[in-house]
Amino acid sequence: MEFLNPSFLYGFSALSIPVLIHLFNLRRYRKEYFTNVRFLSQIQLETRKRSRLKQLLILAARLLTIASLVLAFSQPFIRSPLQGKLKSGHQAISIYVDNSYSMEANGTEGKLLDLAKKRASEIVSTYKSSDIFQLSTNDFEGKHAQFVSREEFSGMLREVKITHASVNLRDVISRQNDLFARQRERSHTSFLISDFQKSTAGFEFIKPDSSTHYVLVPLESLGQNNLFIDSVWFTSPIHRPGQAVKLMVKIRNYGNEKLEKIPLRLTINNIQRSVTSFSIDPSRPAEISLPYTEDKNGFQLGRLDVTDYPIVYDDKFYFSYHITDEINILSIYGKSPNLYLKSLFASDSVFNFRAYTANQVDYGSFSKQNLILISDIDEMASGLANELKLFLQKGGSVCIFPSGNSRNETYNTFFSSIGSSSIGKPDTMKQRVASLDIENELFKDVFDKDASGKIRMPDNVDLPAVLKYYQVSNNALNPGTVLMRLQNGLPFLTSTTVGKGKLYLFASPIEPSFTNFQQHLLFVPVMFRMAFLSTIQSSLYSIIGKTESLDIPSDSINGKNMVNIKKWNSSFEFIPEMRSSGQQMQIFVHGQISEAGWYMVYRGNKQVSAIAFNYDRKESEVNCFSTKEIESNIKKYGLRNTIVLKPSGLPFMTQVEQLNRGFQLWKWFIVMAIVFIAFEILVIRLPKA
């Protein structure tokens, strides 16, 4: 026990006063003459003992009263674990207020964010006016990167609102430690007010500073329930007008009860295209299928809606994609154009087909192509090889039919540079395609499904015959996928991912003397699917705070007009940073997008892309650590100088005051003084014997 005003302890000298009074009263006596005291001797002895006991009790009460008052005025206290390690002098206090979307949940005193702001205000009120304060939120705003007075802190605190930003405790504490480093002459205390979500807390990554004391203030919600849309995807990457597509939606239920008959609505370009209802068990995801038919070309703006409360930010999910007007296909040939490829693609208005010899092709046009076909080229020139490599890395598709007189070493130099399969010596032993990778997207919808929903090839199906072929060997580091395999086990068609693009390699030239594939029923669907899959599709959606760079076609930014991004149906717009990258142009948003929705990319007055942004679903996982779990994690990961204030028990202000000022005892001594005075009065008023 220590004393705030130890000089008052000299007041113990006042204890001599009641002692002197007591001794003086014992010496006072009075003579009483009585004719005969023989009958009163026994009564006289008992009265004298009672009187002496009474005087001793009164003396003890007075001594204890004075001692209690002296101790009360000296303000004794017991140091708290935090106070015992603080430096003398002024303090620097950093207070983190979690303002993420999970703080929209309701607590016993309303919204958790409102309660967090109230707790921060109460913390500040317990410190001296000479102390300085710093406010931290999930936004990491520049105006919060400094220590201010109590009044300035209160003004900043009133401005705190819910934000999309999601951070973990490691980043918050790291930021606080950097700011504390500028206040070396003061004691450092960090308060962390949060619901401590399990998805964002990250106790195992926290690196506390030994010179800083950390106080965790957990807030408890009334119920941890939340229904939200997690992600979406299409079952097929191909989009054409009039084509039936199926959108898959993953929905999660973080709650304790099964939800039934929840409506889910899909709108495309603000027109409702599908609606369904679903049931979902707690803590288990549900995948919902929404089929609809594509309407028209152009940019498609999609949105999914569910209804949930009180956390509503994740009840909408935005996505976007593009249906191209035409697919650009470039055929590069040796001596003469391939008639099979030309007749397949040139007659269909969906495809913009162009054919050039290897010596006449314009490499600058590669960035506008979706698919490049290589056929009947004896030697792969280094210039063409370099341009194809760049085209593949940036997302294009290349299909190679080797020549009957191919110089394999030039082809293999190209294949080696991109890490794909290579071709070997020719083989003239007649073969037949024996198997197809029917689960691959290249063969999707080519074969019918059986009753169980699985794709099955017909029995005794007639597959292409191969008269001559080159032996294809896979790259050990990037083996790719064998899409069509010969009877002897060697590949006839392989697919290899190169960068963002895809390389298709046939083992035979597309000539009747080598194979009948070009005359087989598989030729049309395989080549059409290859062309459709070659259309570069950007991501259906991006995540605010995570997605900082996006790709758009480079041909959309040629010219002198400025590129800018506008929010759909809003006045918000900004100019992004741009970097050219071959076939693609990268744009960087640098945190300028903070609201979910659709964002249009314009080059002058022409729209060149549509991007959908959604809030990070990390905050949707509302499972939070309890106070006991937090204490267990502190012990488990050895987080020293860390204290947890319990939501239940003593009032919050009392807990903070005890941390800051220690356990105050003067009130107890005041109460004791009153009790001793009352005891003295009671003893004095006892009836005399």
- Tell me the DSSP string of 549-595: EEEEEGGGG-SSSPEEEEETTSS-EEPPEEEEETTEEEEE-TT---S
Q: What are phi and psi of 486, to 5 degrees?
A: -80, 170
- Contact (CB, 8 A) for 192 and 639: no
Cα–Cα distance, 16 to 527 (Å, whole number):
111
Q: What is the pLDDT of residue 38?
A: 55
Q: What is the pLDDT of residue 479?
A: 77
Quick one: pLDDT band at residue 451, thresholds 50, 70, 90? low
- Tell me the DSSP string of 351-407: EEEEEEETTT--GGGGGG-SEEEEES-SS--HHHHHHHHHHHHTT-EEEEE--TT--
State mean pLDDT over 287-313: 90
- The dihedral region occupied by 419, where left means phi > 0, alpha psi between -120 and 50, and beta the remainder, is left
- Contact (CB, 8 A) for 36 and 42: no
Q: What is the pLDDT of residue 95?
A: 96
What's the pLDDT tens digit per position in 586-620? 788 888 998 999 999 988 888 888 999 999 888 88
Quick one: pLDDT band at residue 526, thresholds 50, 70, 90? very high
Mutual angle of helices 382-393 and 408-418, in 10-degree steps: 30
Cα–Cα distance, 505 to 486 (Å, whole number):
14
Q: What is the pLDDT of residue 355?
A: 94
Cα–Cα distance, 295 to 303 (Å, whole number):
16
State mean pLDDT over 543-547: 86
Vertex 595: Cα angle to 601 and 201 (nearest 5)? 130
Q: Which residue did the predictor score with more confidence, 275 or 15? A: 275
Q: What is the pLDDT of residue 56?
A: 80
State mean pLDDT over 294-312: 89
- Contact (CB, 8 A) for 491 and 434: no
Cα–Cα distance, 242 to 561 (Å, whole number):
35
Q: What are phi and psi of 678, to 5 degrees?
A: -65, -40
State mean pLDDT over 369-378: 93
Contacts for 680-689: CB closer than 8 Å, 24+ residues apart = 680/58, 680/61, 680/62, 680/65, 683/54, 683/57, 683/58, 683/61, 684/58, 686/54, 689/46, 689/47, 689/50
Give SS3 for 534. coil
- Quick count: other Cβ atoms within 10 Å of Cβ 524? 12
What mean pLDDT is reported for the chain? 85
Vertex 243: Cα angle to 291 and 496 (nearest 5)? 95
Which domains, and CATH codes, for the chain? 2-79+666-684 (no CATH), 91-223+624-661 (3.40.50.410), 226-324 (2.60.40.10), 327-533 (3.40.50.880), 542-614 (2.60.40)
**Tokens representing 530?**
């290859």
Cα R_g (the chain), whole angstroms: 41
Which ranges in 445-545 belong to alpha helices (H)? 523-533
Residue 101: exposed, middle, or buried by beta-carbon count in 10 A (0-12, 13-18, 19+)?
buried
- Contact (CB, 8 A) for 268 and 294: no
- The dihedral region occupied by 641, where left means phi > 0, alpha psi between -120 and 50, and beta the remainder, is left
**Tokens representing 669?**
């001594």
Give SS3 for 260. strand
Q: What is the pLDDT of residue 220?
A: 87
What's the pLDDT tens digit per position in 456-472? 777 778 899 999 999 99
Cα–Cα distance, 618 to 522 (Å, whole number):
45
Closest CA to 611 of 624, 622, 602: 602
| Side-by-side strand order, sheet with 76-78 | 2-3, 76-78, 663-664
- Contact (CB, 8 A) for 287 and 250: yes
What's the pLDDT tens digit per position in 197-242? 888 888 988 888 888 889 999 998 876 678 999 999 998 877 888 8
Q: What is the pLDDT of residue 649?
A: 67
**Tokens representing 590?**
């640098």
Contacts of 575 (CB under 8 A, 6+ apart): 562, 563, 564, 565
- Quick count: other Cβ atoms within 10 Å of Cβ 603? 20
DSSP state of 282: T
Q: What is the pLDDT of residue 37?
A: 57
At residue 40, does pLDDT exceed 80? no
431, containing H or E segment:
strand 431-436
Q: What are phi and psi of 508, to 5 degrees?
A: -125, 150
Q: What is the pLDDT of residue 16?
A: 77
In percent, the amount of the chain with pLDDT more than 90 equals: 42
- Quick count: other Cβ atoms within 10 Å of Cβ 283? 11
Closest CA to 218 of 620, 636, 634, 663: 634
- Contact (CB, 8 A) for 90 and 132: yes
Strand partners, 577: 588
Length of the chain: 689
Cα–Cα distance, 539 to 556 (Å, whole number):
18
Max alpha carbon distance in the chain (Å)?
Answer: 159
Q: What is the pLDDT of residue 32?
A: 57
Q: What are phi and psi of 340, to 5 degrees?
A: -70, -45
Vertex 419: Cα angle to 416 and 424 (nearest 5)? 50
- Contact (CB, 8 A) for 619 and 166: yes
Q: Provide the b/e sequence for 8-17 (b: ≥16 CB within 10 Å).
A: beeeeeeeee
In percent, the amount of the chain with pLDDT more than 70 equals: 87
**Tokens representing 198?**
């399990």
DSSP state of 449: B
Cα–Cα distance, 126 to 215 (Å, whole number):
14
Q: What is the pLDDT of residue 665?
A: 65
Percentages of the chain per state (helix, strand, coil), in multiples of 5: 30, 30, 40
Q: What are phi and psi of 113, to 5 degrees?
A: -65, -40
Contacts of 552 (CB under 8 A, 6+ apart): 538, 584, 585, 587, 601, 608, 609
Q: What is the pLDDT of residue 373?
A: 96
Cα–Cα distance, 179 to 471 (Å, whole number):
65
What's the pLDDT tens digit per position in 152-187? 999 999 999 998 888 889 999 999 999 999 888 888
Quick one: pLDDT band at residue 488, thresholds 50, 70, 90? very high
Quick one: pLDDT band at residue 150, thresholds 50, 70, 90? very high
DSSP state of 101: G
Cis check for the bond before 310: say yes or no (omega within 30 of 0). yes
Give SS3 for 25. helix
